[in-house]
A and B are shown apart, each in its own frame.
Chain A
Amino acid sequence: MTPRPPAKPAIPSLAIRLVRFVYRVLARSLSFFTGGRIESAQGVTVGMVWVATAPVLAGCALVDLIRSGPDVGGLAASAAIVGTGGVMVARTCTFPRRVGTVQLFGSLVFGAFAAIFAVMVPHLLTGTASSFDVALVEATAAITATNASSIDPSDMSFGMLLLRAVAQWAAGAAVIVMVVRVLPLLGTGGLDTDGGVATRAARRLSPRVGGSLGRLLLLYVSLTGLVAIGYAAAGMPFFESGLHALTTMSTGGFSTQAGSIGAYSSAAIEWVAIGGMLIGGCSLPLIFLALRWGEPQRLLKSLEFRLYLVLVAFASFSIVVWSDSAITVDAVRRAIFASTSAVSTTGFVAGDWTTLPAGGQMLLVVLMVIGGMSASVAGGFKAVRLVALTGYVRRELTRSLHTNAVQTVHLGRSSISDPAMSRIVGDTVLSLLVLAAGLVALAATGLGGGGVGLTGDSLGALSTVSFAVSALSNVGPAFGALGPTDHLSALNPLGNVVAAGLMFVGRVSATPALVTAGVLLSPIRHRVLHRSRARTTETIR
């Protein structure tokens, strides 16, 4: 093997030391807070999330004060509430010595719940959200990085806007933490909550404590800064570039304008957004490795990255070709924008999505389902799983002809083991079930006065299905009555709750959600099962 050339120190040592310092502070505070007696990973997570959110809320209150916005009191009060709650919970819990898969899933789910709650409180206290369900869905959209909202951004104070953008950005950071820390812990024992299969890049970045995590977070921060500079250079006002950079990099999609990026009517801004979204949907370990070794061609070597680009290209091309209007540069740019927004699951909107050709709209929905690359902050199904499933199908087709063929499923140059393949298939099936149930539930909420589905015409079916898919993939905008500019205003309270549920399961991924639900419901399950079967069975019924 030829020895590798020595790594160029791509990251200045000062920055590394800073990150290590912050990490040590956090670790110390962790041990300070968690001195309690209840051994619960979930409790610790909840507490730490709230403790971490409190300063953010306080910061937003401060910013609002500087800008003399109306929400200072509300934000400050939320900071106090959440902070106190967090400290209380964290102090009663401590990290268990052995963390099983179920506990990890549980902490994931409960951590997300806690974050949603922490964002709900300011929404309610500042009066931004008019009722509980609106606050719930707004908070969920913020935490799951979905661009679905029923509140006009111009009605919100700057503090709230900042909070929502930071919430989306922090959600992205949380995904990175999950990818680096949780992925290897789950390893062969459980389901990878992100992507299902670690690509070569992610596997190369085997985590040493604090090392890769710090580096990846630093990369995330610097890329956000880069995008912010890009926006400012393209002509966006200073603070707004910052906010948009936060929501672009995290593939969240919230904007300070009601018309999203399209409201700026600036080609330059749209191009920056396209670039930012592409990066946001890209696998962070891959970018890191490419930068570290100074080899941008690494990006192109990745099968998943190539698929990612091909999807965007194919969709943009099809949209342009299938549309009836003339082919202008604007139209091409808008098509690329829409495709990138869909596949990276960001959800920015530029141009009128309702004028897209029907086939183009459906392609966008398909792109939403496919989602970004694995080990990225984007949502969706992840492109790598599509590759894996295609390989699986091809193998089965071959096996119908040659019954005893032994074939492995390939992903680029590496192969996917059977247990990993089973996991992917299992998660796919469960996600489909969740989608089906969510669809019916969402449509059923339209009954009884107002909202989607009452008239039962084809627009109703279209908006329901596209919105359910959009929510599950954490994109946001859909078609029909829940179109890109109306978002959630058409939903009634129950619909809001169902939408929040879909977004949540989409982010947390089906298996952890279902396992946690199963654990929570296990007393009921025990009673049901043991009453109907006299003999105990270990078999799956």
Chain B
Amino acid sequence: MTLRRIKSTPVRVAGVALLIVSTGMATSAVVGFIDGGGDGVALLWSTVITAVAGAAFLFGAQSGERSDPALSFAAVTWAWIAASVAGALPFLLTGVIPWRHADNALFESVSGFTCTGSTILGDIEAVPHGLLFFRQMTQWFGGMGLIVLAVAVLPALKVGGLELIDKEAPGPSTDRLTPRIRETAARLWQLYFGVTVAVSVALLLTGMSLFDAVGHAFAVVATGGFSTRAASAGAFDSIAVELVLIVGMIFCGASFSLHWQASRRGLKAYRVSEFNWYLWILGGGFLLVVWLNSSQLAFADNLRESAFNVVTIVTSTGFGTSDFTGWSVSIQLIFVLMMLIGGMTGSTTGGMKILRLQVVWRYAYREVIRSRHPRAVLPIRLGSTVVPEQVAARAVGFVLVYIGLIVIGGVVVSALGSDPVSAFSGAVSAIGNDGPALGKAGPHSNFLSYPRAARPVLMGLMLAGRLEVFPTLLMFAASARQLSRIRGQLPSRVR
């Protein structure tokens, strides 16, 4: 019997993803053996299982030839799902999460790969270090995949919108990784790796242990938010640590492709309107929060905590240092707004992304001007580039779907038994990949406070938000098509 390879790009891409995840598991196994926490063997087993599955997918399928945006959407989504399922294995195999709570393991894994940072683990410091290292690595991998997604794949599919301002982004192409995409990806990974090393070194210099430094560096560069400590970054109680983290988060909340261009063309590459808005949001948010907090916190504490929290929320990292559920409601609402806005396109942050909101704002403002001058021809401009109408419409559609998903998610979660504030803030936090929410799922608690049936909803939202919504919504349409195509490839007696 000849083994037929099915022509399915999603399967192949999922295979690649699984292989990459297994390398992470292998590294964590090494860490586990060095640390001696007893999880090394379990991690080794997960490595083997994942690697085998990945190899099977990779070699059992070959890339389809048709260029079909639907295929790419399905590929991306299935890759993330496959990685998340595989990522649940270490938690289960080491026994940290019992098998009857397998959905919790999946939640933690999804939270890692989508760089969200919401956790269901109660006592983090009781978890063996190998597993903790793997948990941090899931974020790092998620961030890597994201960079490529945001800068290379999505613009080729005309979803991300980054093709507007990034002249390096490749134009329309097939669903295979063309050399252009590979080139872009390789460059960005170099930068990503370099920043990770830089942040780790900086953290080492502040006095953290190697394990903590590398782990937190992973979390910062991927703007994830998992920490190796129970009290998150606050456990170190060190201004130096917080400063390094702040600088790292701000840097990683900006577009990586922008950083690459700046490294080649100098600082004038930063004169992009989106970057301006990003800095304004950070600065303005900081001042606003300091002002609103001034009655409740001492001045120095105020500056320190406000700065850290504003930066961590805007960049959707989500280190849970201060319990801002005790702060004024206006600050909490501002945080929710920042979660909605997100960071720059082309970074690992979540949210609707500043570029998109700029486009949508100009679209809306144009209507106001049109009410005075009905026949004016008003193109939407970002800086010197004109935004084509289709792209603007796409951005508007995205914003509407995003908000719609939040509303539906919030209603469903509150119907499943959560209180409204936790429900809606949880939905916003999930789809924005931030981490902490308000109410009962605040920075100092975990997501176990949500009813069990509600957590899959939040997982779905995390995935949707990470993949910029359209792929997840379309993947069913895409996958159905794919299935019918595969069915057409099998020999007639099997069909």
Residue ranges of A at the interface with B (Cβ–Cβ < 8 Å): 100-102, 105, 188-191, 318, 322, 357-363, 366, 389, 392-393, 395-397, 399-401, 403, 422-423, 425-430, 432-433, 436, 439-440, 443-444, 446-448, 452-454, 456-458, 460-462, 464-465, 479, 511, 514-515, 518, 539-540
Contact = CB atoms under 8 A, between A and B. Distances in A.
A457 B379 CA distance: 45
A426 B366 contact: yes
A460 B371 contact: no
Contacts of B365: 426, 540
A540 B420 contact: no
Contacts of B364: 425-430, 433
A400 B154 CA distance: 11
Contact of B423 (A362, A428, A447, A511): A362
Nearest to B418: A358
Given A397-B474, A400-B69, A511 B419 contact: no
A357 B393 contact: no
A448 B295 contact: yes
Contacts of A430: 364, 368
A399 B368 contact: no
Query: Taking chain A's interface residues, is the majority helix, strand, or loop, or is none over half, making it mixed?
Result: helix
Contact of B333 (A433, A440, A458): A440
B256 interface: no
A464 to B, nearest CB: 6
B394 A396 contact: yes
B459 interface: no
Instruction: Report the 8 A-B pairs with minimum CB-CB distance, sorted nearest first.
Output: A359-B415, A426-B367, A396-B397, A443-B330, A429-B364, A453-B329, A189-B374, A458-B421
A427 B292 CA distance: 30
A446 B328 contact: yes
B52 interface: no
A461 B439 contact: yes
Contacts, number: 189
Contacts of B164: none
- Which bracket fits the contact residues of B? 35 or more
Query: Taking chain B's interface residues, is the majority helix, strand, or loop, or is none over half, making it mixed?
Result: helix
Interface string B385-420: 000001001101111110110010011101111111
Given A101-B371, A400-B470, A440-B330, 11 more contacts: A318-B415, A366-B411, A401-B477, A423-B367, A429-B396, A443-B333, A448-B295, A453-B330, A456-B325, A456-B329, A458-B419
Given A393-B401, A444-B330, A403 B363 contact: no
Nearest to B369: A540
Contacts of B372: 100-102, 515
Contact of A358 (B333, B403, B420, B425): B420
Nearest to A425: B396
A363 B407 CA distance: 9
Given A400-B394, A443-B333, A458-B438, A359 B416 contact: yes
B12 interface: no
Interface centre among B73, B337, B411, B473 (most CB of A within 10 A): B411
B380 interface: yes
A428 B368 CA distance: 12
A182 to B, nearest CB: 13
Contacts of B295: 447-448
A190 B424 CA distance: 35
B106 interface: no
B367 A427 contact: yes
Given A359-B414, A366-B411, A447-B328, A511 B393 contact: no
A360 B414 CA distance: 8
A238 B292 CA distance: 52
B397 A392 contact: yes
A190 B328 contact: no
A458 B367 contact: no
Contacts of A448: 295
Contacts of A190: 370-371, 374
Given A399-B390, A436-B337, A458 B371 contact: no
B440 interface: yes
A376 B470 CA distance: 35
Contact of B474 (A366, A401, A427): A401
A245 B91 CA distance: 63
B70 A401 contact: yes
9 contacts: A190-B371, A322-B415, A358-B415, A423-B370, A426-B368, A436-B337, A444-B292, A456-B332, A458-B421
Contacts of A440: 330, 333-334, 337
B333 A105 contact: no
Interface in B151-171: 157-159
A71 to B, nearest CB: 38
A429 B360 contact: yes
B361 interface: yes
Nearest to B291: A444
B176 interface: no
B69 A403 contact: yes
A444 B293 CA distance: 10
A428 B365 CA distance: 11
A105 B398 CA distance: 30
Contacts of B378: 539-540
Nearest to A429: B364
Interface string B322-366: 000111111011100100000000000000000000001111111
A461 B421 contact: yes
A361 B420 CA distance: 8
A422 B330 contact: no
Contacts of B367: 191, 422-423, 425-427, 511
B116 interface: no
Nearest to B381: A539
B114 interface: no
A359 B420 CA distance: 7
A179 to B, nearest CB: 18
A456 B327 contact: yes
A256 B85 CA distance: 60
A452 B333 CA distance: 13
Contacts of A400: 69, 73, 157-159, 394, 470, 474
A243 to B, nearest CB: 33
Contacts of B363: 422, 425-426, 429
A196 B439 CA distance: 36
B328 A454 contact: yes
B422 interface: yes
A398 B101 CA distance: 38
Contact of B414 (A362, A393, A457, A460): A362
Contacts of A399: 390, 393-394
A189 B373 CA distance: 8
B381 A540 contact: yes
A429 B361 contact: yes
Nearest to B415: A359
Contact of A540 (B73, B366, B404): B366
Interface in B107-147: none
Contacts of B416: 359
Interface in B440-472: 440, 470
A291 B158 CA distance: 50
Contacts of A540: 362, 365-366, 369, 378, 380-381
B333 A464 contact: yes
A17 B475 CA distance: 63
A447 B297 CA distance: 13
Contact of A511 (B360, B371, B401, B421): B371
Contact of A447 (B330, B337, B422): B330
Contacts of A362: 410-411, 414-415, 420, 423-424
Contact of A458 (B157, B369, B439): B439
A391 to B, nearest CB: 11
A393 B421 contact: no
Interface centre among A363, A432, A456, A515 (most CB of B within 10 A): A456
Contact of A366 (B368, B399, B400, B407): B407
Contacts of A426: 363-368
Given A400-B470, A401-B70, A446 B330 contact: yes
